[in-house]
A = this chain, B = another copy of it.
Amino acid sequence: MDIGKVSTVSRLPTSTLRFYEEKGLIESIGRHGLRRYYSPDVIDKLALISLGRNVGLSLDEIGEMLLPQGFQVDRDLLLSKADELDKKMAKMTAVRNGLRHAAACKAPSHMECPKFLRLLNIAGKNRSRPKNRIMSTLKA
């Protein structure tokens, strides 16, 4: 497939595909003249990358885990990423509960509502800021 086809089926702009290739996340199977050609396999790989981005992994993190044949590398890394996801989900659950409570609670100030504070303090454990960066807005 050429890059245009990959772009339409993956729903990613060609600029992003070139950028991913430059970063070593995907590779073309060759060129026809200047033009990149891709194996259809790239589609699944791109889906995996998008999924990773969607759950908050950086391109570098994804790159560490993603060899030509899918997720791989040392199993410990994979498992530790899985654990990180679990931790983050625990926090997200607390925040979600806090939001639902705030939406339901009649208290004038949530900062003084013990239930609200309790919900969020559970998650407040381990309150470190991320070392490098941000996360997608939950648009996804």
- A33 at the B interface (CB under 8 A): no
A94 to B140, CA, bound (A): 15
Identify which of A48, A84, A116, A137 gathers the most chain B CB atoms within 10 Å of its CB: A137
Size category of the binding interface on chain A: 35 or more
> Chain A 24-65 against B: per-residue CB contact (8 Å), 1 yes, 0 no?
000000000000000001001101101111111110010001
For A52, what are the chain B residues with a Cβ–Cβ distance below 8 Å? 95
A105-140 CB contacts (< 8 Å) to partner B: 108-111, 113, 116-117, 120, 123-124, 126-140
Q: Which residues of B contact A47 (CB under 8 A)?
A: 120, 124, 127
Q: What separation, in Å, do the CA atoms of A126 and B89 have in the docked complex? A: 19
Q: Which of A70-128 contact B (CB under 8 A)?
A: 70-72, 75-76, 78-79, 81-82, 84-89, 91-96, 98-100, 102-104, 108-111, 113, 116-117, 120, 123-124, 126-128
Copies in the complex: 2
Q: Does A12 contact B (CB under 8 A)?
A: yes
Q: Is the CB of B130 within 8 A of A48?
A: no
Chosen A-B contacts, 12 in total, with CB atoms closer than 8 Å, are A47-B124, A51-B94, A53-B135, A56-B56, A56-B138, A58-B134, A70-B109, A78-B100, A78-B102, A85-B99, A126-B140, A128-B139
